Copies of this chain bind each other. A is one copy, B any other.
Amino acid sequence: MAESLKDVLKQLAQHQISVDDAADRLAGLTISDLAFSKVDLERERRTGYPEVIYGEGKTVSQIINIMTALKGNGQNILATRISKEQSAGILKQFPEATYHAAGRCLTVMLNQPVPTDSYIAIVTAGTTDIPVAEEAAVTAELYGNRIKRIYDVGVAGLQRLLANIETIRKAKVVIVIAGMEGALVSVVGGLVAKPVIAVPTSVGYGASFQGVTALLAMLNSCASGVTVVNIDNGFGAAYSASMINHLGGKNGD
């Protein structure tokens, strides 16, 4: 498009067309023609955040195709929800990739980001919440964030949480990950004065409804300062947390 825009301008500069003709021809370009480059620049600015591939339901060859394209652009690569089976196939073609089994993620780091001074605290209620936490951890590190993991500090044993509360308080933003009734979110939200991003997990059975109960509980948290993402969405929580963690800080915008 840039060319066609410049073409019009050049013809105008060379008096081959009048100002009105130029305006008409520019008007003849569709919104999308005009808008595209602008938005595109915006996209480029954002792609300091590397592109992300959601792996579930994709074949190994589909994933490899996208990865090859991204690598061609010199971008870091993050693929989430990658099973062990998928990873095996991918690693054959991308030996430089790293598979993070605990978080079911795969990364290719072409450029190592400089981590922030401030850190994101990633807190889980139980050990079964760890896959979601690790998806968040890998995501946050890829986006250049220092992180601290505080796992298995659910409220049924409050002393485990209290033993770690100072570490959580000193974070710039806190991700709290819990299934079942998700009560950890409200307790953490009541103890720290930082933004808390809550991730409900599908951990539980019966009336946990694959995470719906935790989701609803978190949306109704009696603690202020809590926002919520979709069930098991460790990536999304880390993406938002990274945006917040970079605000106004040394490595932020």
Interface of A toward B, CB cutoff 8 Å: 2, 5-6, 9-10, 12-13, 15, 18-19, 22-23, 26-27, 30-40, 42-43, 45-46, 49, 52, 56-58, 118, 125-126, 128, 154-159, 161-166, 169, 172-173, 180-183, 185-187, 189-191, 193-195, 197, 200, 202, 204-233, 235-237, 239-240, 243-244, 247-249, 252-253
Contact = CB atoms under 8 A, between A and B. Distances in A.
A205 B231 contact: yes
Residue of A165, A207, A232, A236 with most chain B CB atoms under a 10 A cut-off: A207
Specify how many copies of this chain sit in the oligomer. Answer: 8
Given A12-B12, A195-B243, A247-B248, A211 B206 contact: yes
Contact of A38 (B34, B187, B193, B207): B34
Given A2-B23, A187-B158, A126 B240 contact: no
Nearest to A209: B216
A159 B216 contact: no
Contact of A197 (B27, B31, B166, B227): B227
Contacts of A125: 222
B32 A182 contact: no
A42 to B, nearest CB: 7
A125 B229 CA distance: 21
